[in-house]
Amino acid sequence: MNNLSGTGFHPISIGDQEFMPQQTTKTVDWKALREDFPILDQKVHGQPLLYLDNAATSQKPRAVIDALSRYYERDNANVHRGIHELSNRATAAFEAARVRAAKFLNARSADEIIFTRGTTEGINLVAAAWGTKFIKRGDKILLTEMEHHSNIVPWQLLAERTGAQLVFLPIKGDCGLLDLAQLDAFLTSDVKLLAMTHISNSLGTINPVAEYCERARRRGIATLIDAAQSAGHRPLDVQQIGCDFLAFSGHKMCGPTGIGVLYGRGEVLEETPPYQGGGEMILSVDFHQSTWKHAPHKFEAGTPDISGAIGLHAAMVYLDGIGRDRIAQHDLELGAYAFEKLAALKGIRLFGPPIGRAGLVSFLLDGIHAHDVVTVADQRGVALRGGHHCNQPLMKKLGVESTARASFYFYNTTEEIDRFVEVVREIKKFFGG
Ligand code: 7TS
């Protein structure tokens, strides 16, 4: 189904079978992989593009772009409805993506995979459907201080509706680590849910989520993992993590925008009511009442993002062709390299852990606004991000309004980080620092 072209490590698909090419070397030629990403080969403001905004969204390899155009050129039809050839093809491809997502997460069944628009919708689905049934007045929802707005605001809305209360696990200073030793004290009997991020998009902290889930589970507390920043960056195994829910976005891991996955443990999904009502999710409809399909279809009302799921399938195959363990190692190396190079500069404040960090760095230059850093960097062809990164409460805790952030993916190289650090040096000079 996915005839992947380009360089690097690619599984070859024949029919719906995947074959991994024999890898003769343990190392990946990261530079060669860049050729799979047409967008990287361009100039911005007269300089070669240096794309360091991968935490916001990643670039797309040819394999994903081709899967999308192939679908629209040959197979486009609505799913689960027709009995004509194109509809059957579209349905088979859409459901094959679900099976592949289950394999990607090591879920027990494809029925545990719900297609969403992304992480944000996945978390909103849990808050609206599961939360409305299971969270009551006086219950507590435990979050952390490093959560993205999409793992705060849905719980605030739920708390407003139900009279529940939000509690936040604190982070320690600029190094941005949680204290696992503190967790037990927070897991009181009124806590019904622990919802936390795997990797912080501002700090680069990697949380040991399996240990958090294990302690919560021992007390009968439900768990949700925000895997927006981790799904495309490291192997994920929902059974090993032991969570009830896990959400991620396709667009941050080489897939298209508009598609994401919510994993829900089978038993939990069965007792969770529907999210939205409409076509596709029902067994039967009468004028005054309806019955629902089983999970996952009861959570997927309306025409889904069919091409998005197909593009996401190609992205998962592509990433596993490289090896998510290798990508994680490359992330660690790039993160450590960038942190060390920046730490050697004077007048810079760095956020997040010095070691064991994800492939991103957040920083502030003394006396220079993060937006000015990003604007000048852009003039030199370097795409950074400046702002609160949808982490306003975290920024408040750190005592800042914003940070500048460089976030890497596997197609970034240490040479690019050298160029980025050189640009940061120039910016300091430009502003008289
Ligand atoms: N959770 C985390 C940890 C994130 O980093 C993001 C997006 C989301 C949830 C939401 O993902 P979405 O795909 O549903 O929007 N983070 C960022 C970022 O750091 N810069 O832009 C978006």
Kindly report the protein residue whose alpha carbon is nearest to atom 17 of ligand 1.
Answer: 56
148 neighbors 199 (Cβ within 8 angstroms): no
**Which atom belonging to ligand 1 lies closest to the Cα atom of 251?**
13
**Which atom belonging to ligand 1 lies closest to the Cα atom of 120?**
14
CA 367 to centroid of ligand 1, rounded, Å: 28
**Which atom belonging to ligand 1 lies closest to the Cα atom of 198?**
3
Report, as an integer, the average pLDDT of 25-38: 88
Q: Which of 48, 46, 62 is nearest to 7 (CA)?
A: 62
Kindly report the protein residue whose alpha carbon is nearest to atom 22 of ligand 1.
Answer: 56
Predicted confidence (pLDDT) per residue in 189-227, tens digit: 999 999 999 999 999 999 999 999 999 999 999 999 999
- With the most atoms of ligand 1 within 8 angstroms of its CB, the residue from 119, 124, 394 to mutate is 119
User: Would the pTM of this model clear 0.85, i.e. be above it?
Assistant: yes
Residue 240: CB atoms within 10 A of its CB come to: 12
Report, as an integer, the average pLDDT of 92-120: 98
Question: What's at 156, amino acid-wise?
Answer: Q
User: In this predicted structure, what is the pLDDT of residue 164?
Assistant: 98
Kindly report the protein residue whose alpha carbon is nearest to atom 20 of ligand 1.
Answer: 56
Residue-averaged pLDDT of the chain: 93
Predicted confidence (pLDDT) per residue in 246-271, tens digit: 999 999 999 999 999 999 999 999 99
- β-strand partners of 260: 116, 249
Reply yes or no on whether 390 is catalytic. yes
**What is the C-alpha to C-alpha distance for residues 183 and 185, in angstroms, rounded to an integer?**
5
User: In this predicted structure, what is the pLDDT of residue 173?
Assistant: 84
CA 81 to centroid of ligand 1, rounded, Å: 33
The C-alpha angle with vertex 38 and arms to 35 and 42, in degrees rounded to 5, equals 105
Question: What's at 267, amino acid-wise?
Answer: E
Could you write out the DSSP letters of every residue in 121-147?
HHHHHIIIIIIHHH--TT-EEEEETT-
**What is the C-alpha to C-alpha distance for residues 244 and 263, in angstroms, rounded to an integer?**
8
User: In this predicted structure, what is the pLDDT of residue 432?
Assistant: 85
- The residue whose two tokens read 């899967």 is 67
393 neighbors 145 (Cβ within 8 angstroms): yes
Using 50, 70 and 90 to split pLDDT, how confident is the model at 26? low
| Distance set, CA 40 to CA 178, 279, 376 (Å) | 36, 40, 20
CA 282 to centroid of ligand 1, rounded, Å: 31
CA 230 to centroid of ligand 1, rounded, Å: 11
Q: Measured on CA atoms in the order 376, 378, 380, 382, is the torsion positive or negative?
A: positive
- With the most atoms of ligand 1 within 8 angstroms of its CB, the residue from 146, 147, 201, 389 to mutate is 201
Using a 6 Å CB cutoff, which residues line ligand 1? 55-56, 118-120, 148, 150-151, 197, 201, 226, 228-229, 249, 389-390
CA 227 to centroid of ligand 1, rounded, Å: 9
The class that CATH gives domain 69-320 is alpha beta
Predicted confidence (pLDDT) per residue in 348-360, tens digit: 999 999 889 999 9
Kindly report the protein residue whose alpha carbon is nearest to atom 15 of ligand 1.
Answer: 120
Report, as an integer, the average pLDDT of 176-187: 95
Q: Which CATH superfamily is domain 37-52+323-430 in?
A: Aspartate Aminotransferase, domain 1 (3.90.1150.10)
CA 253 to centroid of ligand 1, rounded, Å: 12
Could you write out the DSSP letters of every residue in 101-117?
HHHHHT-S-GGGEEEES
**Which atom belonging to ligand 1 lies closest to the Cα atom of 202?**
19
Q: Is the pLDDT of residue 82 over 80?
A: no
**What is the C-alpha to C-alpha distance for residues 248 and 32, in angstroms, rounded to an integer?**
27
Report, as an integer, the average pLDDT of 278-289: 95
Kindly report the protein residue whose alpha carbon is nearest to atom 5 of ligand 1.
Answer: 201
Can you give the residue ranges of every domain in the chain? 37-52+323-430, 69-320
